[in-house]
Amino acid sequence: MNLSVEPSVNPLTLQSLATVLARSAAGIEAAEQLTADRQLSELGINSLELLNIMIAVASDHDIDLSRIAEEMAQPHTVGELLALLRSAQP
């Protein structure tokens, strides 16, 4: 009988990412109104804010940011950011 316990991973969803975006960047409307095709630049998110958002999401969702390759293109939409972060989840 195998009694090992798998570590629980908090899955990253569009809604959970939108909540962090709304909490992290000034002037972003309600999280419920953010869509995957929304441009990060339209939300006023610059590269420093993007990094801070990625760190906040990583700590909430057990994401290893070192797994994200440096040569990957910077995300331009909420959906691209979501895909990038999901790619680093265990």
Q: Which residues contact 15 (CB under 8 A, 6 or more apart)?
A: 31, 32
pLDDT tens, residue by residue, 35-67: 889 898 888 888 888 988 899 888 888 888 888
First to last CA, the chain: 25
Residue boundaries of the structural domains of the chain: 14-24+32-86
What is residue 5's predicted lDDT score, i.e. its pLDDT? 44
Where b means 16+ CB within 10 Å and e means fewer, 29-41 reads eebeebeeebebe
- When pLDDT is averaged across residues 5-13 and rounded to a whole number, the result is 63
Q: Which residue has the higher pLDDT, 25 or 50?
A: 50
Q: Which residues contact 48 (CB under 8 A, 6 or more apart)?
A: none
Q: What CATH code is assigned to 14-24+32-86?
A: 1.10.1200
- When pLDDT is averaged across residues 1-25 and rounded to a whole number, the result is 69
- Written as six digits, the tokens of 52 are 């801070």
- Written as six digits, the tokens of 15 are 């809604």
Residue 85 scores a pLDDT above 80: yes
